[in-house]
Amino acid sequence: VMENRTQVTEFLLLGLTNDPRLQLPLLITFLLIYTITVLGNLGMILLILLDARLHTPMYFFLGNLSLVDFCSSTVVTPTVMAGLFTGNKVISYNACAAQMFFFTTLICVENYLLAAMAYDRYAAVCRPLHYTTTMRTSVCAGLVLGCYVSGFLNACIHTGETFCLFFCNYNRIHHFFCDIPTVMTLSCSDKQANDFHIIFAFIIIWISYIFIFITILRKHSGTGAQKTLSTCTSHFTTVCVFWGTAIFTYLQPSSSHSMDTDKIVSVFYTMVIPMLNRVVYSLRNKEVKSAFLKV
């Protein structure tokens, strides 16, 4: 089996389309998206570092989310643009494994970071008097470190399981990057991706928001409830967008998958979401806009 498996030394990424008329428009679109993503995420990190008013637990998590969004977009988008520009869509076996490993690490870290941010919002809304002691610096650092370690371990397990499979000497990937479900379809082995890490973070996020909504409903003052809700709107919007694409891509039955539809959704969560997250947090956050104007 090892001898047969090593015969696959490279993969062919079929990409989004074979229509040559769409190559240049897609290249320009992805270049624009990637430029906004880089400037937006690195700008957010710099803004948080420069403005002392943003040295709070929420913005500490947001800074790390910006770093993860920048890195996850960088793992995929430049490769896609290079393929559109040169027409060369071949990726080596090791490069495919590396891309899968780093992207899986970062998407898992983002998932756990959103869960940590949900817990932070729970502590701020439901236990405001204990917030400073609950979310002290050591706790925030521990949560973020746990997100990165968990993402790394998940990626090691999933990437290792995927590239231990027998690929039947078939190397055409119906996608524009090496994602776990699409690479697994090349295998003769009956193997399914393990999604328990996704479900675990999902439970943390929604339990936190159940308590938040209960607390808001108990507030007698409409103004107080609106102010409390506004602190969670940006994060809740990000969670809904992230989870909408994750459920569609990873949690639907394999029999209902459409390769073309999956590609379109994948463009959204690999390129658009990392850009969109910064837009959501910038336009809906008075503190960020105020810090930006000050800088």
For residues 222 and 217, what is the distance between their CA atoms, to the nearest angstrom?
9
Cβ(9)–Cβ(92) below 8 Å: yes
DSSP of 38-95, one letter per residue?
HHHHHHHHHHHHH-GGG-SHHHHHHHHHHHHHHHHHHHHHHHHHHHHHH---EEEHHH
CATH 3.10.310.50 is held by the domain 2-294? no
Cβ(235)–Cβ(114) below 8 Å: yes
For residues 22 and 20, what is the distance between their CA atoms, to the nearest angstrom?
5
What confidence score (pLDDT) does residue 87 get? 82
β-strands 90-92, 172-173 pairing: unpaired
pTM, full prediction: 0.85
What confidence score (pLDDT) does residue 6 get? 46
What confidence score (pLDDT) does residue 99 get? 94
Q: What angle do CA 104, 193, 241 make, to 5 degrees?
A: 55
Q: Give the domain ranges of the chain.
A: 2-294
Cβ(201)–Cβ(114) below 8 Å: yes
**Residues 107-124 pLDDT 10s:** 999 989 988 988 888 888
What confidence score (pLDDT) does residue 1 get? 40
Query: Running along the chain, 295 residues long, what does each successive block of 10 average in pLDDT?
Result: 55 82 90 94 92 89 94 93 87 90 93 89 85 92 94 90 74 85 74 59 79 72 56 76 73 58 81 84 74 81
**Residues 161-196 pLDDT 10s:** 888 877 766 778 888 898 888 888 777 665 555 555
Query: Residues, the chain, total?
Result: 295
Long-range own/partner contacts, residues 242-251 (CB < 8 A, 24 or more apart) = 242/110, 242/111, 242/114, 242/269, 242/273, 243/202, 243/205, 245/269, 245/273, 246/111, 246/198, 249/181, 250/181, 250/193, 250/195, 250/198, 251/195, 251/198
What confidence score (pLDDT) does residue 3 get? 43
